[in-house]
Amino acid sequence: MSTSLRSLALCATLSISLLAGCHSNSASATGATTVRMPDGTTQVIPAGQALPVGSTVLAVGNGSAPISPATGTPVNPTTGTAAPAPTTAAGTPVAAAPLPAATAPEPAPAPVPALVVPAGTRVTIRTTETLSAEHGGGVGSSFSGVLNSPVVVHGVTAFQRGTPVRGEVVSAKGRGHFKGAGVLGIQLTAIGRSSVTSSEYVAREKGRGKRTAGFIGGGAGAGAGTAAGAYTGSRDVVIPSESAISFTLRSSITVR
């Protein structure tokens, strides 16, 4: 009877050992987690099983070469300490792969230098409306036109032919309302989007049947062109539409 009991006890012990071994092998499978218990011991928790309360994760992995979640380096699955660095057959440490060199940013393109149209440049326009000393808006009223020829500086075109221009009436006196000559004076105020100042072009009406185109102040730098002061029955001074008129710039223009 006692022999039978001893046999049964031995079998039970062997069964428990086998079960423990199976549990240990399962715990070292891929995805197992190595933790440190509150009492300082370590345990390997199989994948999918909840971690014990109060435990600290030491490593996750396959048990034979787990990886530390804190450092990303291999650790001992039992103690949680860092595993030795890999070595070559000669025993020298394996050098880590070099990080790729940072690519330097491409340099920004050099800014395009500004083009300066100097003062004294001659500019010819073509009016796109008829101007009248007697029936226009008077001094301060604006008029429109386009460049009759391109503005070129050192072989570079600053403004294309046909670029819109703006101007202003600076003097207006109809012959029918005042004694003496009738006059109509205009100046440029803008070429494209660039503000300008220019010489003044003046058309004059001296008397019935006579009309001339003259310049206030005269001399170099005054305006010139093919437009002439026309007259009506009231001897108005008119600059017809499509008149070609030249001006001289009194200040430079910076074109970007």
Is 67 in the same domain as 142? Answer: no
Convert the pLDDT of each residue in 32-55 to its tens digit.
Answer: 778 788 888 888 888 778 878 877
Which residue range(s) make up the domain with 64?
23-81
Q: How many residues does the chain have?
A: 256
pTM confidence score? 0.49
Q: How many structural domains is the chain composed of?
A: 2
Is 138 in the same domain as 244? Answer: yes
Convert the pLDDT of each residue in 79-95 to its tens digit.
Answer: 556 556 556 666 666 66
Do the domain assignments include residue 77?
yes
Cα separation, 143 vs 125, whole angstroms:
12
Convert the pLDDT of each residue in 97-146 to its tens digit.
Answer: 676 777 788 888 877 788 999 999 999 999 999 999 888 888 999 999 99
Of residues 152 and 80, more confidently modeled:
152
Give, in degrees to the nearest 5, the angle at Cα 202 between 199 and 208.
Answer: 170
Is 123 in the same domain as 70? Answer: no
Longest alpha-carbon distance in the chain:
158
Is 73 in the same domain as 129? Answer: no
Predicted local confidence at residue 135, as pLDDT: 83
Do the domain assignments include residue 161?
yes
Mean pLDDT of 10-39: 55
Predicted local confidence at residue 44, as pLDDT: 83
Do the domain assignments include residue 98?
no
Do the domain assignments include residue 197?
yes
Cα separation, 148 vs 227, whole angstroms:
13
